[in-house]
Amino acid sequence: MSKIAFLGAGNMATAFTEGLLAKNAAVKSALVCFSASGRSAAALAEKTGILQARSLVELLAGADTVVVAFKPQHLATADPALAELTAGKLVLSVLAGKKIASLQRRFPQARNVVRTMPNTPGQIGAGMTGWCVAAPLTAADRATVETILGALGKSVEVAESQMDALTGVSGSGPAYVFEFAAALRDAGVAAGLAPEIAQQLAIETLLGAARLLARKNIEPEVLRDQVTSPNGTTFAGLQRLAARDFRGMIRETVLAAKARAEELSQDS
């Protein structure tokens, strides 16, 4: 793979770098990072063995792809020199809520701009990233995008108009799962289990169920029904979920997150 420049060296740049190296999708000498203070870039370079650039000019010299991984609020004050320095390069942004139009204003001469929405499981290579693109990608650029995003896990391309909905489901989704795990743990304690046992049961149950669902590749309702005996224990629990409109609550949760994403991206 040609040289990839990371503009920003925080958690996302670290996740990409570690994932690319772990999957042998890139060599250390082809990855270079830069941060304004220099501290996070130095830490990332020391941790992973990739190169650290001392300036934007050094960062982008010879780079074919630029991963924009600083904090979203810093886009408005980004160095104007980036407009020229990113000319002809593929720009991939992980800035939450920043639309393609905003990115194009900052990187007007990029050969293409990709907007992505990763989620936190990407930190361990188990993420799901949604992405959209300003213009159709060449075969080579598509391969580059898929390789970079593959460092975090799986990815799916959507229209930009669907990015807010995607944010509500997979971008915010891990928090819903963590909250459910906490609720399941607390319910176990209420049922008489020791807290550490209840936590272990909750985590392993969620993990095993998710793996089974992914491996079987069938509708979740089918697997649900396989656990449920007529008038049995699972049936009793599911009846209570239905009575409290569990699916309706999850629908409202996702729609609320989508609505907030729409609000945040209005000026982005």
Q: Where are the domains of the chain?
A: 4-159, 171-264
The one-digit pLDDT tens for each residue of the chain (268 residues) are 689 999 999 999 999 999 999 999 999 999 999 999 999 999 999 999 999 999 999 999 999 999 999 999 999 999 999 999 999 999 999 999 999 999 999 999 999 999 999 999 999 999 999 999 999 999 999 999 999 999 999 999 999 999 999 999 999 999 999 999 999 999 999 999 999 999 999 999 999 999 999 999 999 999 999 999 999 999 999 999 999 999 999 999 999 999 999 988 886 6
pTM above 0.75, yes or no: yes
Q: Three-state secondary structure along the chain?
A: CCCEEEECCCHHHHHHHHHHHHCCCCCHHHEEEECCCCHHHHHHHHHHCCEECCCHHHHHCCCCEEEECCCHHHCCCCCCCHHHHCCCCEEEECCCCCCHHHHHHHCCCCCEEEEEECCHHHHHCCEEEEEEECCCCCHHHHHHHHHHHHCCEEEEECCHHHHHHHHHHHHCHHHHHHHHHHHHHHHHHHCCCCHHHHHHHHHHHHHHHHHHHHHHCCCHHHHHHHHCCCCCHHHHHHHHHHHCCHHHHHHHHHHHHHHHHHHHCCCC
Selected from 2.60.120.260, 2.60.260.40, 1.10.3730.10, 1.10.40.30, the CATH number assigned to the domain covering 171-264 reads: 1.10.3730.10
Domain 4-159: homologous superfamily in CATH: NAD(P)-binding Rossmann-like Domain (3.40.50.720)
